[in-house]
Amino acid sequence: MKLWDKGYATDNIVERYTVGNDRILDLKLAKYDVLGSIAHAKMLHAIGVLSASELNDVLDAFEKIKNTIDKGEFVIEESFEDIHSKIEHELIQMIGDTGKKIHTARSRNDQVLVDLHLFFKDEIIEIKYLIKQLFDTFILLSKEHKDVLLPGYTHMQVAMPSSFGLWFGAYAESLIDDIILLNAAYKIADQNPLGSAAGYGSSFPINRTMTTELLGFETMKFNVVAAQLSRGKLEKSLAFALAAVAGTLSKFATDSCLYMSQNFNFISFPKELTTGSSIMPHKQNPDVFELMRARCNKIQNLPAEIMMLTTNLSSGYHRDFQLLKSSIFEAIDVLKDNLEVANFMLQHIQIQQDILDNPMYNYMYSVDSLNKLVKEGLSFRDAYKKIGTEILSGTFNPDKNINHTHEGSIGNLCLTSIETKFMSHF
């Protein structure tokens, strides 16, 4: 069944090429297509297109369809082009000619738009919940290991003293920036496009305010052309937010791979969470973090992919938009998986104590030694020269009694403030 069927057949090769894998992807949208259709039906009744008895029949049928979706029993057979044609077919099978009225005053264009807006809203909420779990784990680890020092690096060279409290806390606070971008994407998704039809509205006196309220949108996309322009723009906004989260996870994964290596030996994991080698019996490889990094880096490419798919398209609908679904749906699923796995791995992380006892890290105390001289009255430039000369001559003897007290430093992690900031955006 095709919603645009005019009584002639489409060549099989054309149908296969244009439909693609929409049947599989659209299963994610099934629930939202029903919810959008329910709101649309109630609005059609309000403007006199459906009678009270017809509305009851429609709502009863949609409830039955929704139950099959909720149970995971709903399928889209190959005879159907997409979720929209399948659900309309089911409706007509259940209630006859009344079901043929459901598409009045709407198009597949605004139908898929409302499905995507509702779907993305729910997915953003779920991603934020997973981020909250990971954030809580980072904060817990930061508190637990706040006094365990490790070297900080610039240019991949030993730089200054850091700590596990600082490291874990840094990733916790970085997630707040990602939440802010997700919130922005949510605000963009939280606008009702239903009623824009094919992009130019309808001659029916539809009530878009009613469907906006019924579907729980904060507002509507008022201009019908603007509603259609959101296709691609909505996905791009979400893609940037997903890429931001992925960037945070990718950097943490790289740190973990580095810190797990024997050359660093800062952290480890139970052998059951690492992988071995087919030839080297001693290996415990960080495959989880390597795959996490790679999968996150693919997601970081998503905004560029969407921009290339949608660039230079004129206003109105284009079939190019169909290709957006597979990329962003996959990215959502992969990111959620990465968040869950990262949180799981962190709950089993093992921290190496007394890392800085190794004399190779002595020079990282040079800045603290310099600052001590400045506090004693020497100018910064003279103190810098003195410490530099001692390092070059091999006479530098570090004072390892460090005392960092300012906000956000080793001795003042501001974790309570970070938690408060997170919740203000969550």
Per-residue pLDDT band for 282 (boundaries 50, 70, 90) equals confident
Per-residue pLDDT band for 5 (boundaries 50, 70, 90) equals low
Quote the pLDDT of residue 79: 84
Least confident of 38-42, 84-88, 121-125: 84-88
From residue 211, how far is each of 7, 44, 138, 196 by CA, in Å?
32, 10, 41, 12
The answer for residues whose C-beta is within 8 angstroms of residue 58's C-beta and 6 or more apart is 38, 41, 50, 91, 95, 98, 99, 102
Quote the pLDDT of residue 10: 52
Higher pLDDT, 1 or 20: 20
From residue 152, how far is each of 104, 113, 255, 379, 423 by CA, in Å?
64, 47, 11, 26, 29
* pLDDT tens-place string over residues 345-376: 999 999 999 999 999 999 999 999 999 999 99
**Which 3 state secondary structure label does DSSP give 412?**
strand
Mean pLDDT (whole number) for 373-399: 95
Residue 223 has pLDDT above 90, yes or no: yes
Higher pLDDT, 240 or 8: 240
Quote the pLDDT of residue 8: 46
Mean pLDDT (whole number) for 386-400: 94
* pLDDT tens-place string over residues 194-210: 999 999 999 999 999 99
What CA–CA distance (Å, rounded) separates 87 from 113? 16
H or E stretch covering 91 = helix 83-95
Higher pLDDT, 274 or 21: 274
233 contacts 286 by C-beta, under 8 angstroms? no
Residue written as token pair 């209630």: 95
Q: How many CB atoms sit inside 10 A of residue 232's CB?
A: 19
Rounded to 5°, the CA angle 10-12-15 comes to 65
Quote the pLDDT of residue 4: 44
Q: Which of 21-35, 62-76, 281-295, 308-322 has the highest mean pLDDT?
A: 62-76
Residue 25 has pLDDT above 90, yes or no: no
Residue 164 has pLDDT above 90, yes or no: yes
Mean pLDDT (whole number) for 210-216: 98
Mean pLDDT (whole number) for 223-248: 96
61 contacts 99 by C-beta, under 8 angstroms? yes
Residue written as token pair 């105390």: 365
Q: First vs last Cα of the chain: how many Å apart?
A: 43
Percent residues over pLDDT 70 in the chain: 93
Q: What number of CA atoms fall less than 13 Å from residue 263's CA on the CB side?
A: 3
Mean pLDDT (whole number) for 132-143: 98
The two beta strands, 149-154 and 157-163, are antiparallel
147 contacts 168 by C-beta, under 8 angstroms? no
H or E stretch covering 159 = strand 157-163
Q: Name all domains of the chain by residue range, CATH numbers in brackets.
A: 12-101 (1.10.275.10), 108-195+225-356 (1.20.200.10)
* pLDDT tens-place string over residues 165-205: 999 999 999 999 999 999 999 999 999 999 999 999 999 99
Mean pLDDT over the full length of the chain? 93
User: Which of 229, 95, 27, 135 lies closest to 422 in space, CA to CA?
Assistant: 135
88 contacts 99 by C-beta, under 8 angstroms? yes
Per-residue pLDDT band for 15 (boundaries 50, 70, 90) equals low
From residue 256, how far is each of 245, 358, 399, 420 by CA, in Å?
17, 20, 29, 27
Dihedrals phi, psi of 11, to nearest 5 degrees: -55, 140
Amino acid identity at 388 = G
Per-residue pLDDT band for 23 (boundaries 50, 70, 90) equals confident
